[in-house]
Structure 1
Amino acid sequence: MSDTPSPPSTPLSGFDAPALQQHLASILASVPDAMIVTDEAGVILAFSRAAETLFGYTADEMMGQPVNRLMAGRDRTNHGKYIGNYLRTGERQIIGKGRVVIAARADGTLFPIDLKIGEALIAGHYVFTAFIRDLTDQQRSEMRMQEMQAELVHFSRLSAVGTMASALAHELNQPLTAVANYLEASRDLLDSPDPEMREILHEALTEAARQAVRAGEIVRKLRSYVSRGEVEARPVALEPLLADAIALSRLSREAADIPVKLEVDERIQRVLADPVQVQQVVINLIRNAIDALAGTGDARIVVRALIPVGGETGLVAIEVCDNGPGLSAEMKETIFKPFATTKSQGMGLGLSICQTIVEAHGGTILAISPPEGGICFRFTLRLEADTSEI
């Protein structure tokens, strides 16, 4: 009698192949989210009942069909290349991570989905399982919330502008009225033949100049107050902050099929920042990149955080790079100035606001043209270990 212990049984060890097939069929019929199984060539092997409802195809119609039939935009064109790149390099773009993409129904309508993909190696071949959730209602609600927030921000800005204009008019009224009165009096004195009027004329012009300087000081103080850009910076984890900014920037359908890769140096943990303001900078730079990539076939965006080489210590550099057409040398010189824009419908304030936020954090922002083409916007923040004042 052998003393060798028998291998432990597993919950499935008592099932034969037909029983497992029946179990898989029950899963496909009952799983609440759409589930699609494909081979490493992208051919559909299984199509759940929820997938039938979501896409408008029957399982019989989709069995043996390429899965990119359910995709839209660049994903439909480049899906085969994505799989090939993964099988060749092992680099994961979406497997195990999840992503918001645009899908296509049987009637041709496009809609946003949350896509998560798992993998299994069976008999030397990869099998991929996609779990799909319809985001149409969620995205509609989010967009409505964004519209409401934008309306509230717009209203608050109008209110602030109105209050500021009223205060400015009140403060400037007195010195400007005095200037007008003194100049009116000076004009009348010029017509007088009395030599004693010359001294009075001199005093009137001196007082007019003093009041004009006072009006200028009021304007300068107001400008200083508005552009001071004070921030409440605190230590925050950088990688989650950037990941959230990427997710927020991809809410629009135009952005959903453009891959955005995040690379963070493992040495970087926390930075000193106002997270809302820094996220706004990153979101604005990503959306600018998305606009620049319109019409680009193999569109790519990379957001990376790195330790600058040879620069000031205690800083982290954050880059948002795309492989679009880039910027002309002339545009690079003016891109951060208010009302400078490359967009036909743009106001040219986004990058100016980004610069104000970054500089208020004690950093700098600039545009770099990499040798491989495209454009990189790089800005700096202070690491948590750097305790210098912002």
Structure 2
Amino acid sequence: MRSYKTQMEAAKKGIITKEMEIVAEKENLNPESIREKVAKGEVAIPCNINHKSISPEGIGDVLKTKINVNLGISGDCKDYDNEMKKVDLAIKYHAEAIMDLSNYGKTNTFRTKLIEKSPAMIGTVPMYDAIGYIEKDLLEIKAEDFLKVVEAHAKEGVDFMTIHAGINKRAVEAFKRDKRTMNIVSRGGSLLFAWMEMTGNENPFYEYYDELLDILREYDVTISLGDALRPGCLNDSSDAGQISELIELGALTQRAWEKDVQVLIEGPGHMAMNEIAANMQMEKRICHNAPFYVLGPLVTDIAPGYDHITSAIGGAIAAANGANFLCYVTPAEHLRLPDLSDVKEGIIASKIAAHAADIARGVKGATDQDMAMAKARHKLDWEEMFNIAIDGEKAREYFESTPPEDRHSCSMCGKMCAVRTTNRILAGKKVEFEVVTADCE
């Protein structure tokens, strides 16, 4: 029987848990430094006591940037087997987290299987599940009903939950005053806003926040404080609604830490590149350096079908300036539920963004793979390059699609390969080309 409820409680008591030791080993850091940051709330290790298959990961400053993969069942796409194939892709490409955003039927069957098999941490948005789980219309749901769904997810083994507790009546007033182009684009946030407006009541997750924290503490669930008022287009970024909610999240962070509940802060969706760094710094200041979890940000609104790229650009800038956790975006964003190909594209784009940011931040060991790739390219060792690459399968497929005559080059340059030429000269060899005379008639 462990002598603490949560990772944060253990850290405050000076206890280095096995989860902290695993994170320290993965990050090439001292376990004591991890414990200190968990105690302060600057690092979170989402790890539900009932998630037995998890391989713990740390999220926060000085650690590698982590990525999350969204998937789940919807009313228009009920293929459980296909969603599980997406889980397999996420695990294959080393996504550190998977969020089950299922919003159709009895979602616990899929979620239970997901938690049983996944070494990645599992997140959910209980608000999505409330209507199906409770079998009531939105207007009929009571405050205590929402908490029942949270407890059900916690018991199943969910490691972190997005809870939109910051969209209280004060934040809603700011949102209404400052007219938006896109209004509310958060699914969970819009449902809570609708419930509040229809009932006239305060946000139940805000009004009963202490009771919510008691549930999360019991199972060591990390609260991911959702950004219900995140901007859904460039024109809405950094407005009164977004900032008002962020201020509320800062206060809620401290209240969670007082109960030894770990915290993530969720951040903006659409935002111009020149605003990103300032928003990262503002979150860290207002939310007391809690780990920051961002969706994108998407740096332009005009690229449907390519939003994995707009997101990767914003994610790289965000993570280089303080964000700690990137939520992937697929090419299907804004268009449809992503298929397997979309999921892979989204994972790889997000992985590239996270890795590029880690290099920029000087994270320990971040450039090791890049150095290995440079050495493999210097030797023109294609097999080694494929093994090192983030997506070696795609790299091999491209290389083999137009095979070169000489395996010591690729089909773009052939024997005029700069690496081959330089290597031969430095080895004291001649560089010779077969001259082909074109027929001219």
Radius of gyration: which is bigger? 1
TM-score bracket relative to the smaller structure: under 0.3
User: Normalised by the size of structure 1, how large is the TM-score?
Assistant: 0.22
Q: Which has the higher contact order (CA 8 A, sep 6+)?
A: 2
Structure with greater helix percent: 2
Structure with greater strand percent: 1
